[in-house]
């Protein structure tokens, strides 16, 4: 196309000034002309969505507010329902002997009355827990009585602290029950003020027939077992326990794509929306919240006031067990080191969250039901109000066919000079330095690996052009861009560079632009955060501007 244009242009000039009937074309000696030719290599236009948010990350969501400010959002959930971590009551076994020492010897037909009271322990697993009352949803009590007396023994065990839930009649197990066992799902145990102790009253009769004797050395022994106990609700003072309520991890692909350190967020928030139906105030220990690279690298743990002074989830209503109590705990830059933790660009956040029951008053009256649980929805909210320090991103352009010099022959020596022209339009609130390299992805070792640097065909010299090409636009007091900046820069190319651009060796040759981003700082501080809006764009155009000697005889 260029060849035809040049040929036609010169033909018009010649024919305009001569009589064509007098020309002998073979004898015309055409001059060599000199001209400047521009060859566009390509333009890369990136909005914030493409530069930062163009990631395959199923856990990432983002929202744009009415001012176009972008906020990154990650979600996860935690569920905890192991109520036995706070209070556990296993099978209870107690035993005793009926004292016969004061009865005296008896012979022949007689009835000998017996009465005695026993106090036993209703022991939770943790002896510091104090049970006030407990309502059974399942279980059984059984009694095994052994004796060597002559005659028969009629007896009744009355459990004064165990009553039916409806009319509060005491639980009774007697010898008239051939199994000596009673299911107790509709009962409750009342232990208030007893220190986890309950009373069992024994009453009975020794019935002697004619010829039978009682000499006073006999014995009566018994064992009482409460087995398979389940409870619909337990009240008491459950003290302090530390349990693991969540061990979750969230992959933050945004940071994995952004690379190493260099991005600071001004106002990140991690919110936990708790739903608690457990009747225990729960302190949440966030000292196990950490960030790392997800590959076994060092972990950075959260610190700050929210770790030192444990926040508390409110408990349910002791007068109305069951309904859910909702509470919210937020981790932010004001109560934690969250900004510094995220500044490490963690590819993964870990939540080894512990719960501490009754963190500030272990003598509180608590309750727990068989349906109680703690659920939490976790939201990681990162508004793009950022400070950048040498954050690097790479932008690639295909070199395609380079710039063709067919119309001037195959010798690049016919190019007097050439420059790589960079033209930028920057609406983003940061400045940048730019490194431009031409690379070829097919230059590999035999084993398929690429030696460091071996794939680089060209690196632009003198590329520290921050002030001219990617200068920061004007930013107002709200950290927003009001006027984009635009500029261009020409970088001289030597013959080797011209060869690279004009004759790319394969279709795998590409231009890699590495942008190093920084937000502006004040004279006194680097802690200036700028807003990243969804409509900001960065446009980088590359082209070759060459002065070429065109010998018209070769056309």
**4: pLDDT strictly greater than 50:** no
**330: pLDDT strictly greater than 70:** yes
> What is residue 359's three-state secondary structure?
coil
Other C-beta atoms within 10 Å of 404: how many? 12
The C-alpha atoms of residue 439 and residue 454 are separated, in whole angstroms, by: 9
First to last CA, the chain: 12
**229: pLDDT strictly greater than 70:** yes
The C-alpha atoms of residue 276 and residue 311 are separated, in whole angstroms, by: 14
Note the pLDDT of residue 458.
76
Q: Torsion-angle region of residue 483: left (phi > 0), alpha (psi -120 to 50) or beta?
A: beta
Looking at mean pLDDT, say which of 212-216, 462-466, 535-539 comes out highest: 212-216
- Of 133-147, 274-288, 498-512, where does mean pLDDT reach its minimum? 498-512
Other C-beta atoms within 10 Å of 343: how many? 19
Mean predicted lDDT score pLDDT of the chain: 77
Q: What is the pLDDT of residues 230-242, one digit of tens each?
A: 999 999 999 888 8
Note the pLDDT of residue 367.
92
Alpha-helical runs (H) found in 309-398: 338-343
Average pLDDT on 138-146 reads 91
Q: What is the pLDDT of residues 89-136, one digit of tens each?
A: 889 999 999 989 888 889 889 999 999 999 999 888 888 899 999 999
Contact 502, 412 (CB under 8 A): yes
Q: What is the pLDDT of residues 361-389, one digit of tens each?
A: 988 899 988 887 888 888 889 888 887 77
Note the pLDDT of residue 551.
59
- Of 53-67, 98-112, 158-172, where does mean pLDDT reach its minimum? 53-67
Beta strands in 441-536 (DSSP E): 456-459, 474-475, 481-483, 485-493, 509-518, 530-531
Confidence bin at 394 (pLDDT 50/70/90)? confident
Looking at mean pLDDT, say which of 20-24, 192-196, 506-510, 522-526 comes out highest: 192-196
Query: Dihedral sign, CA of 164, 167, 169, 170?
Result: positive
pLDDT above 70 covers a percentage of the chain that reads 75
Q: Find tokens 């199923």 and name the residue.
A: 58
Confidence bin at 468 (pLDDT 50/70/90)? very low
Cα 442 versus chain centre, distance: 38
What's the number of CA atoms in the CB half-sphere (13 Å) around residue 50? 13
Note the pLDDT of residue 472.
65
Average pLDDT on 197-215 reads 93
Note the pLDDT of residue 162.
95
- By CB neighbour count within 10 A (0-12 exposed, 13-18 middle, 19+ buried), where does 321 fall? buried
Note the pLDDT of residue 27.
41
Contact 48, 534 (CB under 8 A): yes
Element (H, E) at 159: strand 152-164
Q: Show me where the domains of the chain are located.
A: 23-52+389-554, 60-82+250-383, 87-237
pLDDT above 90 covers a percentage of the chain that reads 26
Q: Which residue has the higher pLDDT, 462 or 484?
A: 484
Phi, psi of 542 (to 5 degrees): -120, 145
Q: What is the DSSP string of 393-446?
A: EEEEEE-TT----GGG-S-GGGEEEEEEEEEEEE-SSSEEEEEEEEEETT---T
Note the pLDDT of residue 67.
73
Angle at 298 between CA 295 and CA 300, to 5 degrees: 115
- Of 139-153, 215-229, 395-409, where does mean pLDDT reach its minimum? 395-409
Confidence bin at 81 (pLDDT 50/70/90)? low
Q: What is the pLDDT of residues 296-324, one digit of tens each?
A: 888 999 999 999 999 999 888 888 887 88
152-164 vs 374-383, strand pairing mode: unpaired
Q: Which two tokens stand for residue 9?
A: 């242009």
Average pLDDT on 454-469 reads 57
**7: pLDDT strictly greater than 60:** no
Q: What is the pLDDT of residues 172-189, one digit of tens each?
A: 998 887 667 788 888 999
Task: Give the CA diameter of the chain.
Answer: 167
> What is residue 386's three-state secondary structure?
strand
Query: Dihedral sign, CA of 171, 175, 177, 183?
Result: positive
Q: Which residue has the higher pLDDT, 1 or 403?
A: 403
Q: DSSP assignment, residue 497?
A: H
Cα 107 versus chain centre, distance: 82
Contact 283, 306 (CB under 8 A): no
Q: Which residue has the higher pLDDT, 465 or 123?
A: 123
Q: What is the DSSP string of 131-157?
A: EEEEEEEEEEEEEEEEE--SSEEEEEE
Note the pLDDT of residue 413.
46
Confidence bin at 353 (pLDDT 50/70/90)? confident
Confidence bin at 208 (pLDDT 50/70/90)? very high
Q: What is the pLDDT of residues 407-444, one digit of tens each?
A: 444 444 477 778 888 888 777 777 777 777 887 766 55
The C-alpha atoms of residue 151 and residue 110 are separated, in whole angstroms, by: 10
Q: Which residue has the higher pLDDT, 11 or 394?
A: 394
Residues 6+ apart with CB under 8 A from 4: none
Confidence bin at 509 (pLDDT 50/70/90)? confident
């Amino acid at each position: 196309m260029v060849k035809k244009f040049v040929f036609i242009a010169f033909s018009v000039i010649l024919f305009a000034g001569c009589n064509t009937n007098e020309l002998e074309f073979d004898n015309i000696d055409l001059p060599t002309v000199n001209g400047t030719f521009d060859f566009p290599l390509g333009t890369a236009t990136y909005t914030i969505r493409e530069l930062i948010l163009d990631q395959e990350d199923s856990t990432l969501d983002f929202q744009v507010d009415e001012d176009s400010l972008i906020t990154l959002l990650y979600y996860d959930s935690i569920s905890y329902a192991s109520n036995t971590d706070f209070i556990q009551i296993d099978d209870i076994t107690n035993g005793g002997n009926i004292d016969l020492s004061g009865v005296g010897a008896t012979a022949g037909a007689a009835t000998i009355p017996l009465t005695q009271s026993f106090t036993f322990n209703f022991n939770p697993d943790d002896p510091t827990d104090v049970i006030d009352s407990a309502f059974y949803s399942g279980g059984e009590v059984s009694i095994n009585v052994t004796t060597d007396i002559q005659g028969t023994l009629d007896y009744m065990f009355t459990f004064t602290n165990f009553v039916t839930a409806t009319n509060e009649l005491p639980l009774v197990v007697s010898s008239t029950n051939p199994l000596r066992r009673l299911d107790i799902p509709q009962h409750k145990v009342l232990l208030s003020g007893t220190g986890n102790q309950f009373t069992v009253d024994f009453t009975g009769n020794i019935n002697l027939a004619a010829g039978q004797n009682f000499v006073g050395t006999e014995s009566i022994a018994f064992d009482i077992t409460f087995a398979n106990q389940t409870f619909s609700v337990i009240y008491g003072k459950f003290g302090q326990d530390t349990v693991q309520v969540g061990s979750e991890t969230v992959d933050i692909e945004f940071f994995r794509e952004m690379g190493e350190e260099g991005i600071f967020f001004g106002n990140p928030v991690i919110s936990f929306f708790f739903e608690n139906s457990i009747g225990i105030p729960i302190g949440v220990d966030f000292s196990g919240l950490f960030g790392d690279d997800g590959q076994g690298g060092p972990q950075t743990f959260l610190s700050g006031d929210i770790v030192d002074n444990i926040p508390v989830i409110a408990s349910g209503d002791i007068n109305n067990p069951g309904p859910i109590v909702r509470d919210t705990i937020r981790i932010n830059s004001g109560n934690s080191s969250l900004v510094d933790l995220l500044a490490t660009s963690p590819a993964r956040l870990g939540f080894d969250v512990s719960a501490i029951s009754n963190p500030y008053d272990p003598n509180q009256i608590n309750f727990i039901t068989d349906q109680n649980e703690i659920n939490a929805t976790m939201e990681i909210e990162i508004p793009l109000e950022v400070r950048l320090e040498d954050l690097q991103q790479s932008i690639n352009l295909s070199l395609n066919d380079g710039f063709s010099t067919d119309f001037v022959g195959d010798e690049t020596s016919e190019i007097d000079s050439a420059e790589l022209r960079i033209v930028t339009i920057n609406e983003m609130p940061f400045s940048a330095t730019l490194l431009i390299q031409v690379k070829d992805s097919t230059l590999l070792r035999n084993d398929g690996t690429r030696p460091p640097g071996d794939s680089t065909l060209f690196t632009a010299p003198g590329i520290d052009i921050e002030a001219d090409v990617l200068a920061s636009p004007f930013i107002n007091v709200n950290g927003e861009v009001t006027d984009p900046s635009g500029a261009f820069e020409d970088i001289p190319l030597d013959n080797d560079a011209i060869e690279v651009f004009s004759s790319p060796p394969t279709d795998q040759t590409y231009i890699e632009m590495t942008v190093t981003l920084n937000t502006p700082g004040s004279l006194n501080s680097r802690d200036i955060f700028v807003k990243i809006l969804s409509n900001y764009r960065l446009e980088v155009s590359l082209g070759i501007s060459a002065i070429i000697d065109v010998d018209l005889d070769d056309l």
